[in-house]
Structure 1
Amino acid sequence: MNITMVMSGGIGKRFGTAIPKQYNMIKGKPVIDYVIDACRRSSLTDAVVVVCDPQCVSFSKELENGNLDIVHNGPERCWSIYNGLNYIKDNYNCDKICILDAVAPFVYPKLIDDYFSKLDDYDCVITCQKITGELGNYEFEVFDRNDFYITQSPEAFNFRMLYDCFDPDAPTSEIANQLPKNAKRFLNFEFKNNLKITYDFELKYAELMIDYFKSKNVVSSKIYEKEDFITEGLRSYLLRKYKDETNNWLDFISQNYQKLFIKWGIESFVANQTSKFGLILNADSKTFGKIVLKFIPKFINRYDFEKNFYLSHKNTYLCPVMEFDDEFSALLLKQVQPAKYASFEDNVLLTKFWNTVIGSLVTYNESYIAVDYYGGLKKRMLNCSKVPFMKNEVSFVLKNAVHLYDNVFKNKKNYYIHGDLHEFNIIKNIDYYVAIDPIGFKAPAEFETARFIRNDILKNTGFGLKERFELLVNYFSKWFKRDLIIYAEYIDLAYTLYNSTFENDTPKQTEIMFDLLSTVSGYIANDKLKGNIN
């Protein structure tokens, strides 16, 4: 059980008013009510306990409204905490506790949820601030400020560990210092705009901050910086290959995201760390619920193609797109749960999915905003001089691929296809699969299976390249002719072989794909290729 405990026993000796500072007003609302409201809206909080002077209950609507527990405060903060811990032990089966100050009004629900979640891996979570000024002491000794930090509320703890260690007469007011030395501590330096109201003039600061949040369309008091939007996936590719363009794009997002967040009611997010070609945020929206926000950089020239494919394939096999924003090149998608990737072993659901995909195929016409697959293939063949490694091998297979396309597919009907239906773009939504991240190719229908076959084989190399290829070709033969599946696979492997030389720093992945190309070429008559790949 998770419990938030709000400390409201202070009388505010430095504050200068007859009423304790936590009951003074900010924008017509007592300071403490901002904190209690955040606790109530925390999705992981099971109960709220407030430690306070019972005579002050009438100062707060949140306290008067009930649906929380009130515990009598002690003579000092440590004794108030002790009273609260004893009350919780006697009345609840508590696993995790988050302790907040009634005078720190900018705490927000997602922060509390994050702290409770962190306790799955840590014994305590401490809100901290770096020391930005110089550090002095009354003995005039020299200290390095980087050896110190400031602690603040909220703090969260493994309840049993804290209860067993807590001493109200301890010579420290920092709760975490009472834990064993070997306790696992997480220090959170990211709650930068945390304000503890100590003096009366800080009420005005708080009002100005609230006005600032509203003027900037801030949904919550959490302020994100550029670093919050930089993922490992972006570091591994876009920031490495297109450093200046990617930094400019991230600057735009970090400086303007609040405009989009208020438009779509986004309250918090967790960034997907694996996506290489865009920024994916798993987010909570007060308007749409659990959603995925996808930012696509304009300089990779993919947003319009992806958006238009989603819009032209509503109510088919795609994950529902709920909104889009052209200024940000952003898509708002329904979040899929449990979001497991497709597996060939999940044969029944996968077959249902492919039946829907094939049944949803539409003939290409000029009204569609599509990527010309054949044009892209020829462009890659002509640009082989730019390939960073394996130039001759890549050039050879691309010439074969263009020759094969000319022989087999050039006069076939083109469809408007997803074009990237590999396992990571087919995800499970309860009891069926949906697709994400379409490219939107103008291409023959047989190319729709190519990337699923490629990824499945590369994931299961221990099965044997030839054996796995046979298995998958036989599977997809229920929808397409066997030889056309094989030809499309060879051509698309050549297409993506070219891509892999730019997406990877070493030839290793390209060499693995080249081995698969060699396997596939063994199924193609020599007269279909300009030369034998082997």
Structure 2
Amino acid sequence: MKKNIGVILAGGSGKRMGENIPKQFLVIAGKTVLEHTLTVFENHPLVDEIALVIAPAHAPMLEQILQVHPFKKLVSVLHGGPERYHSSLSALEAYAHVDCNLLIHDAVRPLVDPRIISDVIRQLEKVNAVNVAVPATDTIIEVDENQEYITCIPDRSRLFHVQTPQGFDRATLQRAFDKALKDPDFQTTDDCGVIKKYLPEEKIRLVHGHPRNIKLTWPEDLAFAEKWLSLNPFNSCYE
């Protein structure tokens, strides 16, 4: 059977948080955000191993964490690049000769429900690409390029907010990136977008996420996460 690799993307700088250190290394509920996220994947019975992608400059902070809290499933520490997709490429290269699924997850989503991880892995038995999302609760508008006027109000019933982990058959994601990197106009914000544009024949299965699975972006997000993790210190009693 394929191995399930949790790929944790932890290379961001987190400037919007207003802190002096990247938000994945901020301490909430007694541990760094990164430790909380790694713990969810470490404890998940269907995850075989973990690959962590960080910026080289953050290696000393990671070393301090691992000296206190080693993770048995963490077998690869990889280096990313200036763009998010460089981190995905790093994982693809590291597992180039492994028949596996890659579960690509933002390090700054420490409240991910283990149920979501299970659902993604199960769907990868049927399809080669899986996205996690929750229904949009607010009306979404599209505006002009100057952000001055509304140009469209899409039907909210078909709009979802994307979360992670996104799951892929490794070889399929590699094929998509092989095509993408030949495109001089290539741009992307997530890996499912690469599949959708460059392998349109591949169906991307939707797994329902959870409103709690937020990406820590603003200071108030930290307060929410701290409260939740303080009440659920083992991060294992989700719905």
TM-score, length of structure 1 as denominator length:
0.38
- Deviation, 1:221, is 5.3
Q: Does 1:152 align with 2:163?
A: yes
Quick check: 1:137 aligned with 2:142?
Answer: yes
Q: 2:89 aligns with which of 82, 105, 108?
A: 82
What aligned pairs does 1:518-533 form with structure 2 within 5 A after superposition?
A: none
Supply the distance in 2 between the matched residues of 1:110 and 1:148 (Cα, whole angstroms).
Answer: 22
Higher strand proportion, which one? 2
Please give the residue correspondences for 1:199-218 in structure 2 after superposition, counting only pairs within 5 Å.
199-213=218-232
Determine the C-alpha separation between the residues in 2 that align with 1:121 and 1:96: 12
In the alignment, what sits opposite 1:198?
A: 217
- Name the residue aligned to 1:126: 131
| Kept after mapping to 2: 8 A contact 1:106/1:221 | no
1:176 partnered with 2:187 = no
Q: 1:157 is matched by which residue type in structure 2?
A: F
**Conserved in 2, the CA contact under 8 Å of 1:127 and 1:155?**
yes
In the TM superposition, residue 177 of structure 1 has moved relative to its aligned partner by 2.0
1:47 aligns with 2:54: no
8 Å contact 2:114–2:238 — kept in the other structure?
A: no
CA contact (8 A) 2:7 2:103 kept: yes
- The equivalences for 1:327-346 within 5 A come to none
Give the secondary-structure state (helix, strand or coil) at the position aligned to 1:45: coil
Aligned to 1:373: none
Q: CA RMSD in A?
A: 2.3
Please give the secondary structure, in 2, of the residue aligned with 1:83: helix
Q: Which amino acid aligns with 1:133?
A: D
Query: 2:208 matched to 1:189?
Result: yes
State how far apart, in whole Å, the 2-side matches of 1:189 and 1:101 are.
Answer: 17
**Secondary structure at the residue paired with 1:141?**
strand
Separation in 2, partners of 1:33, 1:160:
29
Deviations 1:198-236 (A, max 9, x none): 12232111112234557xxx973533xxxxxxxxxxxxx
Give the CA deviation at 1:14: 1.0
Q: Secondary structure at the match of 2:15?
A: coil
Aligned 8 A contact 1:127 1:151 in 2: yes
Is the contact made by 1:11 and 1:20 (CA closer than 8 Å) also made in structure 2? yes
Aligned match of 2:238:
222
Contact 1:94 1:159 in 2 (8 A): yes
Gaps of 5+ in 1: 224-534
Alignment of 1:10-409 (within 5 A): 10-60=12-62, 63-64=66-67, 65=70, 67=72, 68=74, 69-89=76-96, 92-139=97-144, 140-142=150-152, 143-166=154-177, 167=180, 170-179=186-195, 180-213=199-232, 220=236, 222-223=238-239
Answer yes or no: is the 8 Å Cα contact 2:40–2:236 preserved in 1. no
Segments of structure 2 that go 5 or more residues without pairing to the other structure are: 145-149
Give, in angstroms, the shift of residue 70 of structure 1.
Answer: 0.6
Greater length-normalized contact order (CA 8 Å, ≥ 6 residues apart):
2
Letter in 2 for 1:79: H
In 2, Cα distance between equivalents of 1:111 and 1:129? 11
In the TM superposition, residue 74 of structure 1 has moved relative to its aligned partner by 0.5
Per residue, is there more helix in 1 or in 2?
Answer: 1
* TM-score (normalised: structure 2): 0.82
Distance 1:109 1:2 in 2: 14
The change in CA–CA distance for 1:86 and 1:205 in structure 2 (over 3 A counts) is same
Work out whether residues 112 and 212 of structure 2, in 8 Å CA contact, stay in contact via their aligned partners in 1: no
Measured against aligned partners, the alpha-carbon deviations of 1:50-108 in whole angstroms (never above 9, x if no partner) come to: 0002332343465443642111111111112112211221xx51321101111000124
Contact 1:2 1:46 in 2 (8 A): yes
- For 2:14 and 2:51, the matched residues in 1 are separated by 21
Give 1 or 2 for the bigger CA radius of gyration: 1
Deviation per residue, 1:249-292 (Å, 9 max, x gap): xxxxxxxxxxxxxxxxxxxxxxxxxxxxxxxxxxxxxxxxxxxx
Q: Which amino acid letter does the alignment assign opposite residue 193 of structure 1?
A: R
